[in-house]
């Protein structure tokens, strides 16, 4: 009877271990369960095999030795499975930590990520942009239904990608906890044993996929750059485009395919998009790239002049051909010779703004002084370096760098530097998103709203987990000055250098705006900027566009902004 029990225990243990050994690496939790179930059977078999208690050896020592031996046996079996039976599968599984970027071969972490049914991303009209497909009733693969209607590169830097090899990016990273439906350790183990997948929540976005796609196409026709469209009343991001983008689909791992081949394919595509040093497809330019804003910054200088009329004397200004600021320094000049013939002499703030007179805005900056100009810029979240936050990560839905008034301490104390800053050069470093927020503040009666991309988060059953809504940052501009600036922006399009922005039928909406042509180094073409609002009387859209090396803000910039606004109003029909 003792012999029969020993044989039965050994056979049962071997059967359990053999069953666990043939389980694919994806069923690692099941394998560990079978190993632990086999342990007491092996213990029984060993106990029945033990001889009678030797002389001089206590029973407790005998039992301890038995447990230690059993532990070594179990470890050896586990090593056998990892090093030989499943070695090739394990070698081809990697994971990238999203915080550190460190690559590790954490098998369980990778396997769990391949099973998670991540939540959807849905645009403001109910169009599903990103979803999850279940393969073989086990694996979850990220899919992009948006590609059936639109260029996936139009959305890539916004929604991001999800890769078990390279981690998540974009909204996939910012809302990873919600999208993955993260659970505690016990819940994960129970779900794995019972075959219950981890299901994430859905993100309902503020963007309009149609406008996003249209803006991407319009920008692609002109070059590398950014487009941002905001609802100025709420701060909702209606479109945010970075060009070039990338196709996130090739970064999605297909668990049903050969692992080694899949890893090789994904690595090749990753190397391809990272080798584009000029385009940098993985860079989300609207939030992560800073540029000299050119004459769009005259909007901030104009606001400061209106806030400080005694010092700036906004309507007592002349548009000379050039202005000497310091001995030996190059004079400030206008982009157009004899510009005073258009602005009038003497002129007004409205006319020098409409015709973008550099000399006039250099004078305003010198009259204001560095403290007053810096104060106005700070109200619009353009920081002096000593007051700048490290990042805006808690301020927007995507990693965002702060915009800077200058880089070097004491820079604005030099007259030449202050004058250059007044018309948008100097050391200014501003993101396209920030210039869109400046335009939106003018449009929204002076209130600056927090930009947001996610309107709400819901569970699969429709229960709302998080509800977002408009959030005012501060009143950045007085109501009276905002009204005057809307009038100035309208003048810039009506009779100034921004006429190309009025592509919407004027009977539908009058457009206001400001161009910017930003120099950024010898031997390079200037960046082309334009900020716009429409309709001027009751703005529903605030737009910022920037084309790297686009040459001309009044031409390329205004034309792009006008085309984006035309697309937005066409979608309202």
User: What are the domain boundaries of the chain?
Assistant: 2-50+59-91, 104-205+247-270, 288-571
* Ramachandran quadrant class, 395 (left: phi over 0; alpha: psi -120 to 50; beta: rest): alpha
Which pLDDT value is given to residue 101? 44
Q: How many CA atoms lie within 13 Å of 308's alpha carbon, on the beta-carbon side?
A: 20
For tokens 């030795």, the residue is 65
Identical fold at 104-205+247-270 and 288-571? no
Dihedrals phi, psi of 225, to nearest 5 degrees: 165, -155
For tokens 């609802």, the residue is 231
Question: Token digits for 273?
Answer: 């998009």
Question: Token digits for 552?
Answer: 């001309």
pTM higher than 0.85: no
User: Which stretches of the chain score pLDDT less than 70?
Assistant: 1-32, 35-59, 61-114, 137, 182-196, 392-395
Radius of gyration of the chain measured on its C-alpha atoms: 32
Q: Give the β-pairing of 454-458 and 447-449.
A: unpaired
CA–CA gap between residue 498 and residue 519 (Å, rounded): 19
Query: Which H or E run contains 245?
Result: none
Please name which of 88, 49, 95, 84 lies closest in space to residue 70, comparing C-alpha atoms.
49
Which pLDDT value is given to residue 96? 47
Per the CATH hierarchy, to which homologous superfamily does domain 288-571 belong? DD-peptidase/beta-lactamase superfamily (3.40.710.10)
DSSP state of 72: H
User: Strand pairing partners for 467?
Assistant: 456
Which pLDDT value is given to residue 16? 62
Sequence-separated (6 or more) residues with CB below 8 Å from residue 494:
354, 502, 510
Could you tell me if 143 and 133 are in contact, meaning their C-beta atoms sit under 8 angstroms apart?
yes
Residues 248, 251, 256: CA angle, nearest 5 degrees = 125
- CATH fold of the domain at 104-205+247-270: Penicillin-binding protein 2a (Domain 2) (3.90.1310)
Question: Token digits for 104?
Answer: 């590790």
In 198-337, the DSSP E strands lie at 202-205, 225-230, 237-243, 322-323, 332-333
DSSP state of 330: P
Could you tell me if 505 and 394 are in contact, meaning their C-beta atoms sit under 8 angstroms apart?
no
The three-class DSSP label of residue 346 is coil
Query: Which H or E run contains 20?
Result: helix 2-21
Q: List the end-to-end C-alpha distance of the chain, in Å, as a whole number.
A: 87
Could you tell me if 364 and 314 are in contact, meaning their C-beta atoms sit under 8 angstroms apart?
yes
């Amino acid at each position: 009877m003792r012999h029969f029990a020993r044989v039965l225990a050994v056979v049962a243990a071997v059967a359990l271990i053999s069953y666990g050994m043939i389980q694919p690496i994806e069923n690692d939790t099941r394998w560990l369960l079978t190993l632990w179930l086999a342990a007491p059977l092996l213990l029984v078999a060993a106990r029945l095999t033990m001889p009678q208690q030797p002389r001089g050896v206590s029973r407790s020592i005998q039992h301890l030795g038995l447990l230690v031996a059993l532990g070594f046996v179990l470890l050896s079996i586990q090593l056998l499975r990892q090093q030989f039976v499943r070695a090739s599968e394990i070698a081809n599984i990697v994971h990238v930590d999203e915080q550190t970027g460190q690559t590790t071969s954490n098998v369980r972490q990778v396997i769990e990520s391949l099973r998670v049914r991540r939540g959807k991303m849905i645009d403001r009209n109910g169009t599903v942009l990103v979803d999850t497909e279940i393969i073989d009733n086990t694996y979850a693969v990220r899919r992009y239904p948006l590609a059936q209607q639109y260029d996936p590169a139009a959305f890539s830097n916004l929604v991001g990608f999800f890769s078990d090899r390279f981690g998540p990016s974009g909204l996939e990273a910012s809302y990873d906890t919600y999208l993955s439906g993260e659970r505690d350790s016990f819940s994960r183990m129970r779900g794995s044993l019972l075959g219950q997948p981890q299901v994430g929540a859905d993100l309902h976005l503020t963007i309009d996929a149609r406008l996003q796609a249209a803006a991407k196409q319009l920008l692609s026709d002109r070059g590398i750059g950014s487009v941002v469209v905001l609802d100025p009343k709420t701060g909702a991001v209606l479109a945010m485009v970075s060009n070039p983008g990338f196709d996130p689909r090739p970064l999605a791992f297909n668990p049903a395919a050969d692992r080694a081949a899949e890893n090789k394919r994904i690595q090749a595509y990753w190397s391809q998009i990272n080798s584009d040093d000029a385009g940098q497809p993985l860079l989300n330019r609207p939030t992560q790239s800073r540029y000299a804003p050119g004459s769009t910054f005259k909007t901030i200088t104009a606001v400061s002049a209106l806030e400080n009329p005694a010092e700036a004397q906004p309507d007592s200004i002349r548009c000379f051909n050039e202005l000497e600021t310091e001995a030996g320094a190059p004079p400030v000049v206008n982009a157009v010779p004899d510009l005073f013939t258009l602005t009038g002499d003497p002129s007004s703030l409205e006319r020098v703004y409409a015709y973008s007179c550099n000399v006039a805005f250099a004078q305003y900056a010198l009259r204001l002084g560095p403290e007053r100009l810096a104060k106005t810029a700070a109200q619009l979240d353009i920081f002096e370096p000593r007051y700048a936050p490290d990042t805006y990560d808690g301020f927007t839905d995507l990693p965002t760098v702060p915009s800077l008034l200058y880089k070097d301490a004491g820079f604005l104390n030099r007259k030449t530097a202050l004058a250059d800053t007044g018309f948008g050069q100097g050391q200014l470093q501003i993101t396209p998103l920030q210039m869109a927020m400046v335009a939106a503040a003018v449009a929204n009666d002076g209130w600056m709203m927090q930009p947001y991309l996610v309107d709400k988060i819901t569970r699969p059953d429709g229960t709302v987990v998080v509800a977002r809504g408009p959030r005012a940052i501060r009143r950045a501009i007085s109501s009276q000055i905002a009204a005057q600036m809307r009038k100035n922006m309208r003048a810039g399009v009506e009779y100034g250098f921004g006429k190309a922005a009025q592509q919407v039928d004027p009977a539908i909406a009058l457009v206001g705006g400001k161009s910017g042509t930003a120099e950024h180094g010898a031997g390079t073409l200037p960046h082309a900027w334009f900020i716009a609002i429409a309709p001027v009387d009751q703005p529903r859209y605030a737009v910022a566009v920037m084309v790297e090396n686009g040459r001309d803000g009044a031409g390329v910039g205004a034309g792009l902004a006008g085309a984006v606004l035309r697309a937005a109003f066409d979608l309202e029909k």
